[in-house]
RNA sequence: GGGCCGUUAGCUCAGCUGGUAGAGCAGCAGACUCUUAAUCUGCGGGUCGCAGGUUCGAUCCCUGCACGGCUCACCA
């Protein structure tokens, strides 16, 4: 007792004793072994007529063990679900049957036997041979309530997955949704690419980056906050249609809809513009909803969301007029806009001092305050101020506005898309403007990427581009309240 | 970062106005050949998140800390 020992519970000690006993008997449940299994649980249940009285081989985890004396029932869980195993001395032999009875809930076993239906109508496997494939040394959480403690569910997701079948369903759906995106884009000629996570410049979005260091290069590097500028280089290179699904990293607050690392798809299409991106956005989301939920109509937190095209289209100015009762169309300059800001209580919403704010800043603040949370059904908000859209083409006839939209669902931003700015001279001016913003204290202003500008000098065709927050879409399609419910291992503070 | 709430057996949770703790599941022993939250009998299992303080005495009151949840702020 000199060294600090990990305190084992009574139940853990019991299981370790069982393990030692098994090993002493030459039945080490951790010894190398493979198990040929022929079927999964749900397949057997769905194909009972064909499989009745047929031999099958299954494997999984013991979730329930009902010993009624000379016979027992086990609920075996595999990746598809659960199936009941019936065992008795006749099927296994008296000695084996007695041995199996010492197994525990949580143990991972293989079962060979024939398919039958119990008198109560439960499709089951009548065991002829059983093998303990892995011993569980820790007891499972409570079989009825499962694992409830949110902290443990996130920290020990493996237990959450074992105990809560809807969690497994959510993550299966997650994969279906991402695959739906891939299938759709691959079918219309997109090329999936990979761009750097590590870079000396973190640009393409407004966010604080994570900082790391390369030992080999003796260099400070950032983890990417967006893939935009590299994907556009691919367009310059002639790939015409590219997308990347991957993690972005933003060193910011953690809450119900933000995780420091999150999954984004960005896609770029040459010879297209933001109108094409709207259609693509509708089609991608509708197709994902159809594949994951069987319908474009999805229930989210008690509200029915309709993802089928067409989504409502509304300019930012019209949205502010509709939801904020403020008319920006007649505002001629920044000064008039600042007056409006004071009149409508927007000053506190602004990220900068009022005198530093342009008309665009104030319009955006009014939108965020009055309109954003009202946009429940999928809605495109079009035409964003140029000041907050440094990578976007200006509107023909109104250089203060850009060809940009964001898609909102349930009051949350889901997608962001532009007619991509491809004029290298204007792009340089916009980066310079961002540098000024940074001097004014905005540490999320876009970093200058000179090589990106120089790629535009080589020539980027007119291009439409879009980013969609995959985690957020997955939240909507799985009725998940928190982003942590759609990320397998969300960022957590370590326990001290 | 602010506010509110939580942390008690492996798990899910009780625990009154302060007198060092209970249930169900799980575990152990036993009974039971169609159970499925199986049932029945009996028995074990706790540094009440951590550290201080008040008190004769703290799971309970106070302070601080840790972790988590919600929320506001922040955050395209």
Using one digit for the tens of pLDDT, what is the confidence trace for A455-488? 999 999 999 999 999 999 999 999 999 999 999 9
Hey, what are A196's tokens?
């750097």
| The pLDDT value given to residue A6 | 63
Rounded to whole angstroms, the distance from the CA of residue A496 to the C1' of nucleotide B52 is: 19
What integer best gives the mean pLDDT of chain A? Answer: 94
Q: Looking up tokens 């305190």, which residue turns up?
A: A7
Rounded to whole angstroms, the distance from the CA of residue A9 to the C1' of nucleotide B27 is: 10
| C1' of nucleotide B70: residue with nearest CA | A256
Answer yes or no: is pLDDT of A199 > 90. Answer: yes
Q: Where does residue A349 rank: exposed (0-12), middle (13-18), buried (19+ CB within 10 A)?
A: middle
Cis-peptide, bond into residue A310, ω within 30° of zero: yes
Rounded to whole angstroms, the distance from the CA of residue A259 to the C1' of nucleotide B2 is: 21
| C1' of nucleotide B9: residue with nearest CA | A9
Hey, what are A243's tokens?
């997308």
The model's pTM:
0.95
DSSP A49-70: HHHBT-EEEEEEEEEEEEE-SS
Average pLDDT over residues A408-431: 96
Q: Would you say the ipTM is above 0.90? A: yes
* Paired residues of A264 in beta bridges: A246, A469
CB A411 within 8 A of CB A372: yes
Answer yes or no: is pLDDT of A1 > 50. Answer: no
| C1' of nucleotide B50: residue with nearest CA | A496
Q: How far apart are the first and last CA of chain A?
A: 23
pLDDT digits (tens, 9 = 90+) for A157-189: 999 999 999 999 999 999 999 999 999 999 999
What would you report as the CA-atom Rg of chain A, rounded to the nearest whole angstrom?
A: 29
d(CA A181, CA A227): 17
pLDDT digits (tens, 9 = 90+) for A208-240: 999 999 999 999 999 999 999 999 999 999 999
| The pLDDT value given to residue A3 | 36
Higher pLDDT, A65 or A350: A65
Rounded to whole angstroms, the distance from the CA of residue A142 to the C1' of nucleotide B16 is: 28
- Which nucleotides in chain B have some atom under 7 angstroms from a protein Cβ? 1, 6, 9-13, 24-28, 31-39, 44-45, 47, 66-76
Nucleotide nearest to A364 (CA to C1'): B76
Question: Taken in order A233, A239, A245, A246, is the CA torsion positive or negative?
Answer: negative
d(CA A178, CA A285): 10
Give the range among A91-105, A312-326, A437-451 with minimum mean pLDDT: A437-451
Average pLDDT over residues A246-262: 93
Rounded to whole angstroms, the distance from the CA of residue A21 to the C1' of nucleotide B46 is: 28
Rounded to whole angstroms, the distance from the CA of residue A160 to the C1' of nucleotide B7 is: 19
């Amino acid at each position: 007792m000199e060294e600090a020992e990990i305190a084992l519970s009574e139940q853990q000690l019991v299981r370790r004793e069982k393990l030692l006993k098994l090993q002493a008997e030459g039945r080490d449940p951790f010894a190398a072994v493979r198990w040929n299994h022929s079927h999964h649980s749900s397949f057997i249940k769905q194909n009972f007529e064909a499989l009745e009285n047929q031999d099958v081989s299954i494997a999984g985890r013991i979730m329930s063990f009902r010993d009624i004396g000379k016979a027992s029932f086990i609920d075996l869980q595999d990746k598809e679900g659960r199936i009941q195993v019936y065992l008795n001395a006749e099927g296994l032999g008296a000695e084996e049957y007695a041995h199996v009875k010492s197994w525990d809930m949580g143990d991972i076993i293989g079962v060979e036997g024939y398919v039958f239906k119990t008198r109560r109508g439960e499709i089951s496997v009548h065991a002829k041979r059983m093998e303990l494939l892995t011993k569980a040394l820790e007891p499972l959480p409570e079989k009825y309530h499962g694992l409830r403690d949110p902290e443990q569910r996130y920290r020990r997701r493996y237990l959450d997955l074992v105990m809560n079948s809807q969690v497994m369903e959510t993550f299966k759906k997650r994969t279906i949704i991402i695959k739906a995106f891939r299938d759709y884009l691959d079918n219309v000629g997109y090329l999936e690419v990979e761009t750097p996570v590590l870079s000396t410049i973190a640009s393409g979005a407004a966010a604080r980056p994570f900082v790391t260091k390369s030992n080999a290069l003796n260099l400070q590097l950032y983890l990417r906050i967006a893939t935009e500028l590299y994907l556009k280089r691919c367009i310059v290179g002639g790939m015409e249609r590219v997308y990347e699904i991957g993690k972005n990293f933003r060193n910011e607050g953690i809450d119900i809809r933000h995780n420091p690392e999150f999954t984004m798809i960005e896609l770029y299409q040459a010879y297209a513009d933001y109108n094409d991106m709207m259609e693509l956005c509708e089609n991608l989301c509708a197709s994902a909803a159809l594949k994951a939920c069987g319908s474009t109509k999805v229930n989210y937190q008690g509200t029915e969301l309709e993802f089928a095209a067409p989504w409502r289209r509304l300019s930012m100015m019209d949205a502010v007029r509709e939801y904020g009762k403020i008319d920006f169309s007649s505002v001629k300059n920044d000064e008039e806009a600042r007056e409006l800001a004071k009149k409508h209580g927007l000053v506190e919403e602004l990220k900068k001092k009022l005198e530093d704010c342009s008309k665009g800043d104030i319009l955006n603040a009014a939108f965020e305050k009055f309109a954003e949370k009202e946009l429940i059904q999928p809605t495109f908000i079009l035409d964003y101020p140029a000041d907050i859209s440094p990578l976007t083409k200006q509107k023909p006839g109104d250089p203060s506005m850009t060809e940009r939209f964001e898609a909102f669902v349930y009051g949350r931003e889901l997608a962001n898309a532009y007619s991509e700015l491809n004029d290298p001279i204007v792009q340089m001016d916009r980066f310079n403007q961002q540098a000024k913003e940074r001097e004014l204290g905005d540490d999320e202003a876009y970093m200058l990427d000179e090589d990106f500008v120089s790629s535009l000098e080589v020539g980027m065709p007119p291009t439409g581009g879009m980013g969609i927050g995959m985690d957020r879409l997955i939240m909507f399609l799985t009725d998940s309240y928190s982003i942590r419910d759609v990320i397998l291992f969300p960022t957590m503070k370590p326990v001290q």
